[in-house]
């Protein structure tokens, strides 16, 4: 065990993330080439290749590799997760939603291409994500696994997932009676479900057993929620720094956040508990093989953006 421990510590997570993110970027670039009609493909590529941490596709690949699969087997599913994430950001930024001018350090899609094209670019990415999994997954993968991944993804996106979370968020805006349960429901559906789906689908596509899937699902749930709690904390701490005050923007805005509802210290404690829980959920796996997913949990917990 001493030797194993040593090796886990030796695992270079930064290098792992860099090389996986680069492989994802190359695969996305190949998946959505610039072709006729150029305008829509330009808009799709603009947001898809605009940077981003690539957390979802890397989670997908790492889960696949944890249970014996390869990067190649997971890649179309991993790219699909990033396509869905990107389309949700394009639509979230629209004037009829959050009305944001900048995303990933660049002008938002509708600012560059206009609202009509931005909506269509999101729609095209949404539909292509499914096509890409169905058409580009290695022929060695059974259709039963592909079908399961596609249905997981559909459930994750629809009215019981991302769309449901977004609607609940819009509806609750400015509502002072939003409690922790509602906040958690919104976060789980807007953010955690796609992170969870990315991990789960990586495991499913590699042919994981039901027992492995159950373990991985628990990890995925903790990590999904952790991501959002940390996002809320960063919103407060970043804007406090910007304002030079102790209370950041989200402590004084209408938006319900974890720090606002439970206090900053308790929100930090909650994040720390979720990180421990996520790691415990992987304790049944070989620590060497689980190192990337353990590293991703730390990365999500300690990230600065």
Show the binding pattern over residues 43-82: x = contacts ligand GRG (CB under 6 A), - = does not.
---------xx-x---------------------------
CB-CB contact of 137 with 205 (8 Å): yes
Q: Rule CB under 6 A: say whether 157 interacts with ligand GRG.
A: yes
CB nearer to ligand GRG: give 138 or 182: 182
Among 39, 104, 245, 266, binds ligand GRG (CB under 6 A): 104
Provide the β-strand partners of residue 102.
107
162 near ligand GRG, rule: CB under 6 A:
yes
Shortest distance, CB of residue 253 to ligand GRG, whole angstroms? Answer: 16
Please give the structure tokens belonging to residue 230.
Answer: 């940390």
Binding segment toward ligand GRG, per CB under 6 A, in 13-21, 160-168, 218-226, 247-255:
160-168
Please report how close the Cβ of residue 174 comes to ligand GRG at its closest, in angstroms: 18
Which member of 47, 109, 137, 166 binds ligand GRG (CB under 6 A)?
Answer: 166
Rounded Cα gap, residues 84 and 118, in angstroms: 14
Rounded least distance, CB 227 to ligand GRG, Å: 7
- What does residue 242 show for φ and ψ, rounded to 5 degrees? -60, -40
Q: Which is nearer to ligand GRG, 212 or 235 (by Cβ)?
A: 235
- DSSP reduced 3-state for 107: strand
Task: Among 28, 63, 75, 126, indicate the residue that binds ligand GRG (CB under 6 A).
Answer: 126
Should residue 257 be labelled a site residue for ligand GRG when binding is judged by CB under 6 A?
A: no
Q: How many residues bind ligand GRG (CB under 6 A)?
A: 18
d(CA 240, CA 247): 6
Nearest-angstrom CA–CA distance, 182 and 265: 20
Q: Given the complex with ligand GRG, which of 91 and 215 has the nearer CB atom?
A: 91
Cα 283 to Cα 270: distance, rounded to the nearest angstrom: 20
Q: Which helix (H) or strand (E) element contains residue 103?
A: strand 102-103
Judged by beta carbon, residue 76 or residue 122, the one nearer ligand GRG is: 122
**DSSP for 158-216, written as a single string:** STTTHHHHHHHHHHHTT-TT--HHHHHHHHIIIIIHHHHHHHHHHHHHTT--HHHHHHH
Nearest-CB residue to ligand GRG? 52
Cβ within 8 Å of residue 150, ≥6 positions away? 130, 133, 134
Q: Does 271 bind ligand GRG (CB under 6 A)?
A: no
Q: Which span sits near ligand GRG by CB under 6 A: 158-166, 218-226, 237-245, 275-283?
A: 158-166
Binding mask 186-225 for ligand GRG (x = CB under 6 A): ----xx----------------------------------
3-state secondary structure 5-46: HHHHHHCCHHHHHHHHHHHHHHHHHHHCCCCCCHHHHHHHHH
Verify binding: residue 129, ligand GRG, rule CB under 6 A: no
Three-class SS state of 68? coil
| Separation CA 50–CA 75 (nearest Å) | 19
Beta strand segments in 54-170, E: 102-103, 106-107
Q: How far is the CB of 170 from ligand GRG (least distance, A)?
A: 9
Gyration radius from the chain CA atoms? 19
106-107 and 102-103 strand pairing: antiparallel
Q: Of 140 and 304, which CB lies nearer to ligand GRG in the complex structure?
A: 304
What residues make contact with ligand GRG under the rule CB under 6 A? 52-53, 55, 85, 88-89, 91-92, 97, 104, 126, 157, 162-163, 166, 190-191, 231
């Amino acid at each position: 065990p001493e030797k194993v421990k040593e090796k886990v510590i030796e695992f270079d997570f930064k290098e792992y993330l860099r090389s996986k993110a680069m492989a994802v970027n190359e695969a996305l670039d190949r998946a959505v080439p610039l072709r006729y009609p150029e305008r829509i493909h330009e808009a799709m590529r603009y947001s898809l290749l605009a940077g981003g941490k690539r957390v979802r596709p890397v989670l997908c690949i790492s889960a696949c590799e944890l249970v014996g699969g390869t990067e190649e087997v997971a890649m179309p599913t991993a790219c699909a997760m990033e396509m869905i994430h990107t389309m949700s950001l394009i639509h979230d930024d629209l004037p009829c939603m959050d009305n944001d001018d900048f995303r990933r350090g660049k002008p938002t899609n509708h600012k560059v291409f206009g609202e009509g094209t931005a909506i269509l670019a999101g729609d095209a990415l949404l539909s292509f994500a499914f096509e890409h999994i169905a058409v580009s997954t290695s022929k060695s993968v059974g259709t039963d696994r592909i079908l399961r991944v596609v249905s997981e993804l559909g459930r994750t996106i629809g009215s019981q997932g991302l769309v449901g979370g977004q609607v609940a968020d819009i509806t609750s805006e400015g509502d002072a009676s939003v409690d922790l349960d509602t906040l958690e429901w919104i976060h789980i559906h807007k953010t955690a479900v796609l992170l969870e789906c990315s991990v789960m689908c990586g495991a499913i596509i590699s042919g994981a057993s039901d027992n492995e899937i159950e373990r991985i699902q628990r990890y995925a749930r903790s990590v999904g929620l952790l991501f959002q709690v940390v996002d809320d904390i960063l919103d407060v701490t970043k804007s406090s720094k910007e304002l030079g005050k102790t209370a950041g923007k989200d402590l004084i805005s209408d938006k319900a956040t974890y720090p606002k509802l439970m206090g900053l210290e308790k929100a930090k404690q909650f994040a720390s508990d979720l990180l421990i829980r996520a790691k415990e959920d992987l304790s049944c796996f070989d620590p060497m093989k689980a190192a990337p997913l353990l590293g991703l949990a730390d990365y999500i917990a300690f990230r600065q953006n």
